[in-house]
Amino acid sequence: MNGTPNAPPLADVLRLAAFAWMRLRTGTSLDRALDVALQTASAPVHPRLAAAAKDVAYNAVRHLALIDAVIARLSARSPDAAVGALVAVALGQLIVSRRADYAVVDQAVHAAKQDVSTRAASGFVNALLRRWLRQHDDLLPDLERDEVVRLNMPRWWIDRIRAAHPQCAEAIFDLQRAPPPLVLRVNRRRSTVAEYLERLARAGIEASRVGGYAVRLRIPRPVAAIPGFGDGDVSVQDAGAQLAAEWLDVRGGMRVLDACAAPGGKTAQLAELGDIELDAVEIDAQRATRIESNLARTSAREHARIRVIVGDVGTPQSFAPAAGYDRILFDAPCTASGIVRRHPDIPWLRRPADVAQLATLQARLADALWPLLAPAGRLLYVVCSIFPEEGERQAERFARRWADARPVPLPASGTQASVQLLPGEVAQTYGGGLPTVHDGFFFALFEKS
């Protein structure tokens, strides 16, 4: 029934995924919704069940617009939230056909019968899923005529990307619907990239270099099965994201501020770059705990003096800043429009007004951070966004507001002091410069003159 031995019952997987889907539809991010599903489950959830539910929920979100359209077309009235969620995650499984259709329908009906909120609708669940199986060959081309369904993004999101990047919009859409690559950052304090690639080869794992310290596994696998991950020899980090700490030009003895630090991917990376004094500030106390676990796994405190501080970089007195930082990494809160392939829920969680609101927040935080920089110090502004309001325009306005902010050319970009990296993958071997596989980011570097 469940494909592989020891696989959790599919009905349990569907129920957990449906719970997360329901929360997502009321505005909670999918990762957070999955965490809540695990925390509020009546009994401890086995890691295999949690992983399977995550997979099923993510798969459904990758087809969210199609699923909504199918339910609207095949049911006379919209189902209750709990019933709709169960149908949605089951439809997601039928759409990708990775499991036997009969097993998905059978287990979805079984799941419906197990819960008081869905029990009365088990017949409806059965009927709707079977209708989809009978009609999908006709229905699919018809529903996919709607671009929102085909691209799985809200109309306003599609329009904004087309307006901002008319030449590359279709390539961005294609890439953002594809499953994300698994990219690692090799801890340079532990080994070279070549040594780590050899280690992978010895373990029979195919991989290639896609950036300075970035290695892509040909087939993604759980972190527990990645050689050296538990010991901090490598970390999971997109090759574009790796550029931020690299481009900050951190050297031993410097005082560095990692502003907006959780979950700490770049904090740990900064500690790999030099024996520095590092303040990592994060406003969200719960997320800040993840910085500590990243630092512990990579033994970052062996080299760097690190303070992890729960505080608001917009009000620096809240975190007792050092007297003049040599470097500030400002990885600002943003729409995250550059990392949709990793977080397919993002376009469905944002509202059009969020772009301007986040741009205002970014400007306010940047203005609060700039005075904390020592003379000749550098601030790198980073967002994982491809919207110009958060990127190029933000950097231009910042330079206009601060007469002592001198734009500095970024490494690997000739004379440009800012780079908009669009999500991309090129089929060439990495030969230095920009990574060959990366998500979407904007970077701008300023020096205090």
Ligand X SMILES: C[S@@+](CC[C@H](N)C(=O)[O-])C[C@H]1O[C@@H](n2cnc3c(N)ncnc32)[C@H](O)[C@@H]1O
185 bridge partner residues: 214, 235
> Closest approach of Cβ 316 to ligand X, in Å?
10
Cis peptide before 263 (omega within 30 of 0): yes
**Chosen residue from 115, 144, 312, 425 binding ligand X by CB under 6 A:** 312
Instruction: Please indicate whether residue 168 is annotated as part of the active site.
Output: no
Q: Which residue, 151 or 259, is less far from ligand X as judged by CB?
A: 259
Nearer to ligand X, 93 or 394 (CB): 394
Nearer Cβ to ligand X (74/261): 261
Site for ligand X in 264-303 (CB under 6 A): 264-266, 281-284, 287
- Both structure tokens of 435: 């990574």
CA dihedral sign of residues 184, 186, 190, 192 = positive
- Count CB-CB contacts under 10 A for residue 186: 26
Q: Which is nearer to ligand X, 244 or 437 (CB)?
A: 244
| Residue pair 123/86 in contact by the 8 Å Cβ criterion | no
The values of phi and psi at residue 279, to 5°, are -105, 120
The distance of closest approach from Cβ of residue 385 to ligand X in the complex, given in angstroms and rounded to an integer, is 9
Question: Scanning the structure block, which residue is given the tokens 């969620």?
Answer: 85
**Closest C-alpha among 447, 347, 345, 446 to residue 387:** 347
Nearer to ligand X, 103 or 310 (CB): 310
Does position 130 interact with ligand X (CB under 6 A)? The reply is no
Q: What is the CA radius of gyration of the chain?
A: 23
- Nearest Cα to Cα of residue 446 among 409, 414, 412, 392: 409
Backbone phi, psi, residue 245, to 5°: -65, -35
Residue 347 as a binder of ligand X (CB under 6 A): the answer is: no
**Minimum distance from residue 404 beta carbon to ligand X (Å):** 23
Of positions 9, 227, 316, 333, contacts ligand X by CB under 6 A: 333
| Residue tagged active-site, from 168, 260, 334, 384 | 384
Of residues 18 and 186, the one with the C-beta less far from ligand X: 186
| Contacting ligand X within 212-271 (CB under 6 A) | 260-266
Helix axis angle for 122-143 and 101-114, nearest 10°, is: 140
Q: What distances in angstroms separate CA 172 from CA 156, 164, 367, one per listed residue?
A: 15, 11, 32
Whole-number minimum distance, CB 244 to ligand X, in Å?
A: 7
Q: At its nearest, how many Å lie between ligand X and the CB of residue 319? A: 8
Amino acid at position 231, single letter = D
How many whole angstroms separate alpha carbon 372 and alpha carbon 104?
A: 56
Identify the three-state secondary structure at position 36. helix
Question: C-beta of 332: minimal distance to ligand X in Å?
Answer: 7
Return all residues near 233 (Cβ < 8 A) that are at least 6 apart.
Answer: 186, 187, 190, 191, 196, 227
Helices 239-247, 265-273: inter-axial angle, 10-degree rounding: 50
Q: 56, 148, 365, 444: which one contacts ligand X (CB under 6 A)?
A: 365
Which of 233, 331, 345, 439 binds ligand X (CB under 6 A)? It is 331
Q: Which residue has the tokens 């990047």?
A: 165
Residue 19 or 443 having the CB closest to ligand X: 443
Smallest distance from the beta carbon of 107 to ligand X, in angstroms? Answer: 36
| CA 374/CA 359 separation, integer angstroms | 25
| CA-to-CA dists, residue 55 to 14, 225, 251, 274, 333, angstroms | 10, 17, 41, 37, 26
- When the beta carbons of 52 and 291 are compared against ligand X, the nearer one is 291
Q: Compute the distance between CA of residue 107 and CA of residue 365 in angstroms, rounded to an integer.
A: 49
**Residue nearer to ligand X on the CB measure, 60 or 276:** 276
Distance in Å, CB of 186 to ligand X, minimum: 17
With CB under 6 A, what is the number of residues at the site for ligand X? 18
Among 314, 407, 411, 424, binds ligand X (CB under 6 A): 314
The continuous run of DSSP H or E covering 173 comes out as: helix 169-177
State the nearest-atom distance from the C-beta of 152 to ligand X, in Å: 23
By DSSP bridging, strand 277-282 and strand 305-310 are parallel
**Residues within the interface to ligand X (CB under 6 A):** 260-266, 281-284, 287, 312-314, 331, 333, 365
Catalytic residues: 384
